[in-house]
Amino acid sequence: MNKFKLPLLACLTAFFSIHHAMAQSPMTKVDIGDNIVIMIPQEFIEMNAQDIRNKFISYKSPLAGYTTMDRTVDLVVNVNTTPWMDKDIALLKEFYKNNIRNLFDEVEFMQEEVKEINGRSFAVFEFISKVNGDPNSFKNQAPVIDYTWVQYTIKDQQAYVFTFHCGTRLKDSWHDNAAEIMSSIKFQ
């Protein structure tokens, strides 16, 4: 082996290990309105009004929103009134699966199931999405490919939506944190 390849390989391995370790940040418990407790990475900060305006096209602000300092990784909690009942979670799962498919040009589901988490049933989706670029645009010609883990549950005719989102280039670094966040959701 070339005498330069080994040190270069060691440096690259160290860089990716440090980068991975930085993304696997310690978790902290936060209380979210409506008696919800969730663990989030300590480095997350609350989204400000500008973050919410930049990221969401909606008449209603999320119940809670957290992001990294560089605004590349997000966790958002939404709640909406629904006619659905707690027992309708399997039907809700199919409804939201079709909604997800309609939002993007391509969707690759890595996880789609109903799971029991801390005594509550959730419709769970983990997926890679792609929105094709616009060939007629000077600015937005490239496709946007993202990683999302979203969970839905119903409580007292309220649909709660927990969404973890980042670009696919960050998926491997943040997947374990996403799993920990989503498994920590607890209604009190």
Asked if 48 and 137 touch (Cβ cutoff 8 Å), the reply is: no
Amino acid at 84: W
Give me the mean pLDDT over the 154-182 stretch.
Answer: 95
Per-residue model confidence (pLDDT) at position 52: 82
User: Which of 2-6, 26-30, 152-156 comes out lowest in average pLDDT?
Assistant: 2-6
Instruction: Please name the residue that has the structure tokens 């983990």.
Output: 126
- The whole-number pLDDT of residue 61 equals 83
pLDDT value at residue 71: 94
What pLDDT does 145 receive? Answer: 95
The whole-angstrom separation of Cα 153 and Cα 122 is 5
Question: SS3 letters for 4-47?
Answer: CHHHHHHHHHHHHHHHHHHHCCCEEEEEECCCEEEEEECCCEEC
pLDDT per residue over 114-150, tens digit each? 999 999 999 999 999 999 977 776 676 789 999 999 9
**In the chain, where are the structural domains located?**
27-187
CATH 3.40.1000.10, applies to 27-187: yes
Both tokens assigned to 56? 């969401």
Q: Is the pTM of this model over 0.85?
A: no
5-45: pLDDT as tens digits: 444 333 333 344 344 444 467 999 999 976 899 999 999 99
What pLDDT does 28 receive?
95
Residue count of the chain: 188
Which amino acid appears at position 143 of this protein? P
- For 111-114, which contacts have Cβ atoms below 8 Å and span 24 or more sequence positions? 111/149, 114/89, 114/90
pLDDT in tens, 66-106: 999 999 999 999 999 988 898 999 999 999 999 999 999 99
Question: What DSSP string runs through 54-114?
Answer: HH---SS--SEEEE-TTS-EEEEEEEEE-S--GGGHHHHHHHHHHHHHHHSSEEEEEEEEE
